[in-house]
Structure 1
Amino acid sequence: MTRKKIPIKKIDNINARQVTFSKRRKGLFKKAQELSTLCDAEIALIVFSATGKLFEYASSSMQQTLERRNQHSGIQGLDNPSIGQQLGSDSFGMLPLRKEIEDKTNELSQLNEEELQGLKIKELQKLEDILQRRWTTISKTKEAKLMEENQKLKQSFLQEQRQSYESFTCSSSEFPPDNGSSDTSLKLGLSLFE
């Protein structure tokens, strides 16, 4: 019996995505270790999760492997003071943006119920306030959409009633008028349309 081939696309379910990430990461690290052992290859593997967590595997030393890679390709690493200073300095105004991205990434992972361990009471209360504000915003948005949809349904219903009334009055006018003294005609009408 063969395995079912899954399409390679982003998994929408967060829990299923996390489980798949964990299993595949372990499998990837196992394959890297096997390749290193079988072929006597020096391997360094770095993985960042969607929440920003770092996972790494190195057959020997990660630092030595990265240095060797940088020497081999002619790229100077972050050990170079000029590059390190450029990246670390705020000459481009990037420091506040980096801090904001880091804060938002942490906040997002906490809202996804990840990395909640070690949070203090004030941080948990802040997280609760954020969730409450978002819940209120979502509720108001949904309420507005429902009110709009309700209004459209009312208009559609009234239009159907109007058409039904008009078709009934048109069909009743096809009868010849009674010239007698008694009025035997039936008159129906809705007060909504007067």
Structure 2
Amino acid sequence: MVRGKTQMRLIENATSRQVTFSKRRNGLMKKAFELSVLCDAEVGLIIFSPRGKLYEFANSSMQATLERYRKHAKTKEALDPPSVNDIQLEHLNHEEAATLMKKIEQLEVSKRKMLGEDLGSCSIDELQQVELQLEKSVCKIRARKVEVFEEQIKQLKHKEKLLEAENAKLLEKWESEAEGGVKEVERGENLTNYAESSSPSSEVETELFIGPPETRPRTFLSLN
């Protein structure tokens, strides 16, 4: 039986899609790194998430890799004149590359501003926007920190209940064993008292008669 190829399609669930994106992105980054190390290849990888977040990898300089690509494309075009479709496609590729580079530069500038760097050229409005963005980030961080604290408190309370239950069981077991020990001691004392009360007295006098009945002297023998 020949099985057909599974058709790939967009993952509808947003959470599953994000998880898959993260896993595949990390795998792609790892493969790019391995290719650059194992084969001594110059590798440049650019990824934009569905929300526009940039992820990139370059074993040298990304800018140098892009320039090398442009030179290679121009050389290839000179040796092999492209068709009309190839020209249009190459034009689109150059436009996309320029757009990506512009986005990368904007993201780098925004990143430096968020880190408090290169603020000398910022206007009041730009500084206020950076401040507002940082305040939002801090609020989110604090909210997450509160959630983590609450989760830890719940876990500690649950652990406390388990320890209290275990302590109660151990106390009940100890009291039961202690009560059994007291009963054994009382039983031993009762047996001792009974033995002492039932044994013959050490002060009982026994008469031993020696000689004829009429002249026999009376002798007392004490049994100790």
| TM-score bin (small chain) | 0.3 to 0.5
Structure number with the bigger relative contact order (C-alpha 8 A, sep ≥ 6) is 1
TM-score relative to the length of structure 2: 0.37
> Which is higher, the Rg of structure 1 or of structure 2?
2
**Structure in which a larger fraction of residues adopt helix:** 2
TM-score relative to the length of structure 1: 0.41
